[in-house]
Structure 1
């Protein structure tokens, strides 16, 4: 066995249907009493329902900031910080997906306030010490243990109304976290176990959810898989897949989960020649792969009925060259060297919506 290092990230997880009722107890456990609630404009009504739960625990929220948006733009964070200060909040509670949780992280790392997360998607940001922020059209990331939220409440009830399309892309986004953990430079056997179990859980449950979104068992399994996959991302770092997604999302304002869904099979195909053992491990946990990881991923995405081309979300063909330039300018570590022409072709295939193939 290869030598490795493993550092367990601190954090508390409360998992299960109805666990939202423990929100007040969790805030009191932190010795806090004046939480600021965070959401997107679309989830404002949902998060307001938490006020009655807090009221039952004799807790009055400091207020609700409902302007979270994707890619965590710094001008929104600045506005939220002022709101936090004016409200006198002593902790933040983020309710939603990666956009809201990202804002919670941005506030927490700047103020030192405790951060409690209530995820409603499978994006996984709640389990990582990573913050991605966008300013002047560019997205940058940083990692710091202090960014990691202290408490996460996984209540499957809040995922039951997640639209089928978003369930699919959010779930594939989670799978991407685990895939990169399998070949990460700082990988270890603990994360490999988490990654394979998480991918298996999501790959089996997501097609069920797309066809029957009210299936509670499938929803619970998907949330469990997303948690495991997020643990991987928070522990072992990122490579080409995430570099491409950060480049494309931040520079061309593309939707986060949809971009991850489109890029994933192509990024794996790019790295395939350098990760034969990982390709075998993935094939073993992907349904209908017949020993071929790329085939298994293409079949999975077909079953999930997701859009496969970045052009469907507004990216222009002339943006392909610009994206390739940005991606090679400051590359993440990757098992295969970042070569401009094969990478450009990878991005072109993502733009065009072609099925992935390992021929680069």
Structure 2
């Protein structure tokens, strides 16, 4: 049989048709070990794989007992419990100095995003290998993004040195995470998916990972709420968390994360809850200017529109509703406008003005209907 092959749309594949799909995607070098109930054995195997003999374990005081169980049998020479949200520079410096004094050759973090963030801060200046054992859905363990806060300003960056060599996911370690915190943390993961859809370096692989992450989180989180002790919902949520973080790390930080980093650094707001509250307002603001991304998000939710799907999920899991519930004053929202405007990505689908940010932040502060962000009408 002979003939000319045909490309989509009826064009000759070897002549008229020219692909418009062109991108570069870098896959991060990292081992991912996923097995419920096997954290201790898996961590031992990963540390042995690294050839480490002097391990530093980072875990907040509240998770000290859990960390003892997870790191049983390791050659631990230092346990560090000073873990502070948003990783203040002075805390990072003290931990780095302790690691140097202890001649540490590997760091194991057991905990949420703040714990992982501190381990990354150590790796940033020491090149020490990390093994991350998440107990929340923060996703930091799967990214090469670091963050430090100094004088009420949070600075983030990307560096291959901070990417954990291995992640050990064990859903049993998340069962003790209270439902409200699980919801906030899971919505933080969902924010990674949404921001990845229009991040500055987004490519088709990022969008595919983000869409699958949304599907996983949209089914996993309600199951966690319904059956907090059950593993299916916890595993599904952890799976979605990993996908969300990989997509976000590749696509880069978008408007949503820029807003939350500014608010967290300036006002020391709780990380996960801030992301959970701000997300629908950024989605509503950007959706009409990014129709392909909006359709992907809607399809992942199984909804008519992206914002409808997100709002339905938020209702089902009783999501955090307003920044004022977490200590932000109305004047703070206004005062943060310029700081956010200074870091808005040029790639954001919709132009962003100071007026837009003021409306968005005030709406998130009050917890008003996010649909008001879809057009230019004034607050009422």
Bigger shift: residues 154-163 or 91-100 = 154-163
CA deviation after TM superposition for structure 1 residue 111, in Å = 0.7
The count of corresponding residues between Structure 1 and Structure 2 is 353
SS at the partner of 2:167? strand
TM-score using structure 1 length:
0.95
Task: Quote the Cα distance in structure 2 between the aligned partners of 1:135 and 1:355.
Answer: 34
The match for 2:8 is: none
CA deviation after TM superposition for structure 1 residue 330, in Å = 2.9
1:33 counterpart = 2:49: no
Q: 1:14 is matched with which residue: 23, 30, 33? A: 33
The match for 1:321 is: 334
What CA deviation, in whole Å up to 9, does each residue of 1:273-299 have, x standing for no partner?
Answer: 210111111111115x3x121122122
Task: Quote the Cα distance in structure 1 between the aligned partners of 2:217 and 2:337.
Answer: 30
SS at the partner of 1:49? helix
Q: What does 1:190-209 correspond to in 2, within 5 Å? A: 190-209=205-224
Q: What does 1:267-278 correspond to in 2, within 5 Å? A: 267-278=282-293
- For structure 1, the residue ranges without an aligned partner over 5 or more in a row are none
Task: Quote the Cα distance in structure 1 between the aligned partners of 2:66 and 2:355.
Answer: 46
The match for 1:155 is: 170
The match for 1:144 is: 159
- Check the 8 A contact 2:223/2:232 in 1, yes or no: no
Bigger shift: residues 240-249 or 320-329 = 320-329
- Check the 8 A contact 1:202/1:222 in 2, yes or no: yes
Task: Quote the Cα distance in structure 1 between the aligned partners of 2:70 and 2:202.
Answer: 38
- Check the 8 A contact 1:298/1:355 in 2, yes or no: no
- For structure 2, the residue ranges without an aligned partner over 5 or more in a row are 1-19
Q: What does 1:1-360 correspond to in 2, within 5 Å? A: 1-20=20-39, 21-52=41-72, 54=73, 59-287=74-302, 289=303, 291-333=304-346, 334-357=348-371, 358-360=374-376
Task: Quote the Cα distance in structure 2 between the aligned partners of 1:285 and 1:193.
Answer: 10
CA deviation after TM superposition for structure 1 residue 201, in Å = 0.5
- Check the 8 A contact 2:322/2:365 in 1, yes or no: yes
Task: Quote the Cα distance in structure 2 between the aligned partners of 1:292 and 1:25.
Answer: 45
TM-score using structure 2 length:
0.90
Q: Compare CA radii of gyration and give the structure with the larger one.
A: 2
SS at the partner of 2:330? coil
What CA deviation, in whole Å up to 9, does each residue of 1:171-191 have, x standing for no partner?
Answer: 111111111111223222211
Task: Quote the Cα distance in structure 2 between the aligned partners of 1:185 and 1:250.
Answer: 22
Task: Quote the Cα distance in structure 1 between the aligned partners of 2:298 and 2:193.
Answer: 14
- Check the 8 A contact 2:43/2:71 in 1, yes or no: no
- Check the 8 A contact 1:95/1:117 in 2, yes or no: yes
Task: Quote the Cα distance in structure 2 between the aligned partners of 1:318 and 1:253.
Answer: 15
